[in-house]
Structures are given as C-alpha cells and as structure tokens.
Structure 1
C-alpha cells in the first residue's frame, strides 16, 4: 500500500505549493521592465547607413543576408575596401554574421573606442545627475578595459544594458570551438569581474581556455564568451519564463551558423543560459557536438531526447548550489521543466566535485572545469561521472585528442 508521504496526490499538492511560491516571488519582485527606446539605436543607425552605402560603385548587400553570401561579398573586396567599410560602419560590420572574423574584431574595436568617447563626454555633462555621471564613468572604464591590447570582440552593442562576445584563441584556425553561454544579470558591466572572477563570462571563458590548453596542448582551441543576448535581470518574471531564452536562441544559432571553418563546437550553458541552450537545441547546426549545462533550472524539456538534437547532452550540479531548490516543473509558461541532472532526464551527469555554490563551476582546480575541458578537446574517456561510475561515458566516441595532462 502506498503511504501518504509518497502518494501521487501529495506530490500534486507539493507541485502546486511550489508554483504558488513562484507566483508569490514574481508578484513581489514585479515584472522585469521592458523599456522602449525613441529613435534608432547606434547599431540600427549603423545598419541603416550600411543599407544606403556603396563600395566601388556597387550597392552594399543586405546586412541580414545569409552568412555565405556576405562572406563571398567581403572576399570580393581588397583589404583597403574592407577596412574602409569597417571604419565607416563599425557597429554594422562588427555584428555582421558572415563578415571576416578579424574584420569584425577591427570594427568592434573602433566602435568601442567611439563609445568610450561618448561616455567620457557624458561624465562631464552638466545636464546629467550625479548618478548619471557615475553610470557614464562605469561604462567609460569598461570600454577602456575592453580596448586593452590583444582583446578581440566578435560582437558589441552598447544599447541598453549592452551585449558583447569576446574570443580567446585563434577562431579561424581552431580545431575545436567552445562557447560559454551565461545566465541572469549578464550585461556589459558584469561581463568581466574582479570579485568572483570566474562567475562572469570573461572569467569563465579564460578559465576554460586555459584548462583546454592544459588538457591537450597540441589541440588548437578557441573559446567564445558569448553575452550577445539580453539576459534576465534578477530573479523576476523574465528569469521564470522562456522569453529571453527564445530571443537569445535565435542570436546564438545565427552566431553558430556563421563561425568560420568546420570545427566541432561545444556549448557550456550556465544557469539561465541552459534554458537558452535548451530552447535552441532543436535548431542547432550539426557541428555542435556537445551541450554541457551547469547549475541549470531546467532546459524547457521533460527529457534530453525531447531536445531533438544530435549533440551529446551533459549536466552537472554541485551539492551546495541553491538552484537545486527551485521547482523543476513548468506550468503556464512559468518554470523550465525537468531537472537535467535527474536520472529520468537522461543527460550524461558529470562530477562537479570541488565546485562551490552556483557560480563556482569554472573555478580552476575543480572537477567541473576539468570535465568541461575534456569535453572541449574531445577527450571523452577522461571525463568523471557524478557517482564515481562510468555511466556518463557509455557509448561515447573514441578520444580524438590527448587526455588530461
């Protein structure tokens, strides 16, 4: 006889109670405000100017053309013509999927420099309040840091809270590519942190890049810190729904389909970033070989097979991550579905030993980071499973790169 403590009826009541808690949280925290902007944004203005531009007497192609067409267009130009377009339309070129990677780096460096000048002027604008001056100062210093020698940005949009993507390694020559997809409260100002360095996209990506190089020194890798979507701000309505994830999934897929070469790609999706990766999964290009989620509130699917992707799905969660206390269910668009580390979900569950809290998965020296690196270089037989068994390694391809150093 089934006891009351484990009866289906009680489980239903527990689920309803969990939903009630979510509704109360959302009611007290409020809806995330969506601000409308008057006039064209800087990126829109640059794209509009591009659409009316010409080179060598010819009209420029639609900036929304397929990456292949844009790639052929840029290949038809000489270096001087390409450089002129980057200087004339920096935001348009810097965010154009299909433009040469190095040209995008150049264009975004120009755009970042221009925005630094704008914020420097705002710091001394008497029409702004003291808070306005402080905000301008924070942005100006962020842009200064982004202009440091050697930094390379594949995307940059200063509008609103800002969007950005930075590359570590040689993307054009990479044999394997990794993309870090972060979660809530990711924007231009939180893209890089001094405190809790490895909980921010730049710290995550640099840590992963270093670990991959250590795991397989002969494998040419590149890592992208991808914050080129509007992430939810805080734990409000946006974080409880899939709206931001759906918008971000479109942008992520556009990036992936425009990456140079044919190297396999692994996605590392943290927190709400795993929701985005789950939404994007069924439309990912076939070169995406692996999706690894950490600290996930759910992937908006009942099981890994429901993601409809050919990529291997990995999941991990450390023992003191608060995310384990969220309701793993979805009702009326709220919540993100099943727990990816549960046996029923069917992901390959990895060890996160030594990781601490929700933001500790990319900390150097952790089992979680070593597992990420092994996936990134294709050393699948070196990964450590969550329960000291080999379940997560079953039916994997032979290692295609050197194992751990």
Structure 2
C-alpha cells in the first residue's frame, strides 16, 4: 500500500504536464455536506440559524432564547439538523441523534452512547463522546484517518478492534482515569465528521478531503467552545486526521492549547510555525511506521509537506518507539498511547506529571 503513495508522489517530479490531468490538479474547493433535513429547516418560518454559516455562538444564543420546550420541539422536528448543530446544547444533540439513529435502523438503532454527530448517508459521519462533556474542563478531540467509516467506527477498519476509533477514544478515557481526580473533568470526542480516504493511495495524497474535513472541524471546535467556554482542548490527529487538523489549525480558537500529530503523512505545511496556531504542537512517528517512507513534499496538488516528527518541523516530540506499526499508536499500554493521554489531560507528556 505505501508503495502506491510513494510512487504517485515520485511521479510528480517527472510528470508535470497537462496530460497528468486531475491527479495533479490543485486542491479544489472544500465541499462540506449539509446535515440531513436542512431544506425543511431553512424553509421554517421562524428563520432558524443556518447550520452551515451561522456562528456557533449565535446558535447557542438563539437556542437559549427558545427555552427547554422550544428546543425539544426543534430536536423532534429536525433531528438530523439539531443533532449536528454546532453551538446547540450537548444534551439536546444527544437526544436528537438518538432519535436519528433509531430512525436509521440497523446497525445504528439501539446503539448506546452519547453522540454529537450522526449522519448515515454515504460513508456516514459520527462523533461519539466518552466522559461527561457537559461538565468537562478539558476536552480531547480525536480525528481518525484513512479507511474509517461510520460502518466500521465500532468494529474497526478491516474488522480489527484496535483500529476502532470508538475503542481508541474509550481507551484514552480509561488511561486518563489512572490519574485519579484529574480525569473527573475530562472528556473525549471521537470525531469522524468528514469523508476519509479509502486507504493509503492517491486520494490520501491529496488535500481535497482534508480541506472539507477542516471546514467541519473548525465548526465543531467553535461549537464546543460556545457550549463549554471554560474548557480547554487538545486535538489528536491520527494519520490523515492530522492533515485535517493541520489545515484547520490557524482558524481554531485559543481554547485549543495542544495539537498532536501521530502516524502523520504531513499537516499541509513545512514547519509548526506555519500552522499559525498558539497551541503547543506535538508529533510522533514510530520507527516501524510505513509513513516514514512518505516524501515530505507538496507539489501540484499532491503531498502534505514535511513529516511533523521531523526535527526540522519544530514540533515537540513524544515517544512512539514501542509502537509496532502504523495501527498501534493507541493500543493500550504503548508509550504513544500513554503520552497522548497525558497531552490530552494535562498538555504535557512527561510521565511524572500528576494531578
């Protein structure tokens, strides 16, 4: 699989010609998919805030003015919109998404948990919360990479549990509980709010999907900041998920204090400074990860820039020597999983950090 990506990038150096076609075209405009039911929502005579353009802080203000009964009525009438509405109260989104999942039938009906996002169309989009987000003072947002779909969100890519974003997020929360009371105000959001590439291939070498994902991620984070204004956040980007975060970085609020990239093909820039963020930037790459063979280039629409774990990038490095391959960064007990949990909870990866 990595040879396909490597060959595609290498070909750029010798194939810069019109015949190369769309493969070598510059990234297109980011296309963010509207939530289910948006047509009826926009037609509502109450002039409801547009979920694609309204500032999440304004969404919160509007919904606060409706009162509990008015908010519940909206969730019942437009579950596909309210469940995905950044700036809406957390509990209201949970309620709307439970309704939408029941309506979607198998394999979603009856799925337990709290969800900030659910859309069964196409590849599917989902965001599950672990911990009490309504009281969280520290929030980790995990952005998965290539191969992830709503259909394998719980069973894992290729049916392998260790590749399940949901189980990875739960593992971070469980690891955080080792720190006692520090984990009481901690929550994890596992966010698959974009169409990820199928695998390590040419679409994964382009930024188009990451650009659309970055647009959606910026809104998600702004929504979290609107409903949890006293909380700080850490964004954890695995593989292509780190590219999504990299393209969103300069538009993230100051509440994001930490960004961690692991198993990353690149974040769309050559240095951490070019991300344009005030957050601490962390990176790790296992010596056994195939990503070490990916060229650190951006050329004619292909590539994602210098590897974040390259010392020249300027990120803070954290340990990943015990990671067996590209799939095991968040496996329980690895040095990377422990470091990522400390970054998520404390903004520091040192083992001696304690509450």
TM (norm. structure 1) is: 0.76
Determine whether 1:19 maps to 2:10.
yes
Per-residue CA deviation, residues 151-199 of structure 1 (Å, 9 max, x unaligned), is: 0110111111111111111112101000001111111112122643232
Per-residue CA deviation, residues 246-298 of structure 1 (Å, 9 max, x unaligned), is: 11111001000111222110011000111111111111111111111111111
Secondary structure of the 2:135 match is coil
Determine whether 1:192 maps to 2:181.
no
Determine whether 1:209 maps to 2:173.
yes
How far apart are the structure 1 equivalents of 2:295 and 2:34?
40
Rg larger in structure: 1
How far apart are the structure 2 equivalents of 1:246 and 1:355?
29
Shift of 1:211: 1.1
Secondary structure of the 1:19 match is helix
Q: Residue 111 of structure 2 corresponds to which residue in structure 1? A: 148
Structure 1 stretches of 5 or more lacking a match?
Answer: 1-14, 32-40, 117-139, 385-398
Q: Residue 83 of structure 1 corresponds to which residue in structure 2? A: 72
Secondary structure of the 2:311 match is coil
Q: Residue 326 of structure 2 corresponds to which residue in structure 1? A: 358
Q: Residue 322 of structure 1 corresponds to which residue in structure 2? A: 290
How far apart are the structure 1 equivalents of 2:86 and 2:212?
17
Q: 8 Å contact 1:294–1:316 — kept in the other structure?
A: yes
Q: Residue 234 of structure 1 corresponds to which residue in structure 2? A: 199
Shift of 1:70: 1.7
What count of residue pairs does the alignment treat as equivalent? 329
Q: Residue 43 of structure 1 corresponds to which residue in structure 2? A: 35
TM (norm. structure 2) is: 0.86
CA RMSD of aligned residues (A): 2.5
Q: 8 Å contact 1:315–1:349 — kept in the other structure?
A: yes
Q: Residue 30 of structure 2 corresponds to which residue in structure 1? A: none
How far apart are the structure 1 equivalents of 2:165 and 2:209?
18
Q: Residue 143 of structure 2 corresponds to which residue in structure 1? A: 181
Determine whether 1:171 maps to 2:139.
no
Larger relative contact order (Cα-Cα within 8 Å, sequence gap ≥ 6): 2
Q: 8 Å contact 2:234–2:344 — kept in the other structure?
A: yes
How far apart are the structure 2 equivalents of 1:21 and 1:162?
32
Q: Residue 130 of structure 1 corresponds to which residue in structure 2? A: none
Secondary structure of the 1:205 match is helix
How far apart are the structure 1 equivalents of 2:115 and 2:236?
19
Determine whether 1:224 maps to 2:224.
no
